Amino acid sequence: MNSYQNLAYLENLYRLQSLGFDYVDPISPNKPQMQTSQLPNTYQSLCNTIMQCHLCDLSKSRSQSMVGFGSYTPKIVFIDAFVSSAEDESNSYYTGPARTMLRDMIEKVLDLSIDDVYITHAVKCKPFGFQQPSPSECNSCSPYLHKQLELLAPKLIVTLGGDAHALLTHDKSEFESLRGAYIPYGNTHIIPMYHPAFLVRNPSSKKEAMRDLTLIKEKLSKVQFS
């Protein structure tokens, strides 16, 4: 926004103020955040609750809630940040070049089947347009994600990109300082790695991603057989 636009907005605000209008901070229309303890204790019931969720305005932008895909007893849970338009339109978790890359990572590098893992999003509904969800919209989904992890009880969690990691852990540290680390999280651990979409755009980072996948494979093997 340039200085001329700023000036025009200020003049309009002063004009409205002179007519008697008052200004207040914006408020969120979302309902109060639920607690994880209020959610169902069976996974299918939890899925039904998520699919019928209308806690925030994102329920108006979606075709459906993207609950998750894969095994209910997963070795790894992969967490993405937000539902993409392509995923929402196709109701598929393996859409486009980034998802093809993720599938190849799982099957060709980690030597796992798609049926051995679970993939979900921190925010279950597609945002409006190209916007990122607001903090209140993200907070509405947070109990769902934590309840999913509680019920799925994965041996390892992989956060795909900085947004996903921050939404899960509320850690706003520089992502490069976190990527490839083995971070304790409850009864399991998190390994943050680059989002596949980032690797599609930045193929020079695939070498670092391969190191992260090697670490995931190594740690998973130790957990499995400990």
Residue 64 domain flag: yes
pLDDT at 32 over 80: no
Residue 24 lies in a domain: no
- Report yes or no on 146 lying in a domain: yes
User: Bridge-partner residues for 119, per DSSP?
Assistant: 69, 78
Does residue 13 fall inside a structural domain? Answer: no
Please give the residue range of the domain that contains residue 89.
Answer: 35-225
Residue 8, domain member (yes or no): no
pLDDT tens readout for residues 166-218: 999 999 899 999 999 999 999 999 999 999 999 999 999 999 999 999 999 99
Residue-wise pLDDT tens digits, 44-100: 999 999 999 988 888 888 888 889 999 999 999 999 999 888 888 888 877 788 889
- CATH classification at residue 183: 3.40.470.10
- Domains in the chain: how many in total? 1
* Residue 2 is assigned to a structural domain of this protein: no
Rg of the chain over CA atoms, in angstroms? 20
Q: 43 lies in a domain?
A: yes
**SS3 sequence of 72-99:** CCCCEEEEECCCCHHHHHHCCCCCHHHH
Q: Is residue 17 part of a domain?
A: no
What span, in angstroms and rounded, lies between the C-alpha atoms of 176 and 53? 34
Sole residue written with tokens 């303890």: 37
Pick left, alpha or beta for residue 153 (phi over 0 → left; psi -120 to 50 → alpha; otherwise beta).
left
pLDDT band at 1 (very low <50, low <70, confident <90, very high): very low
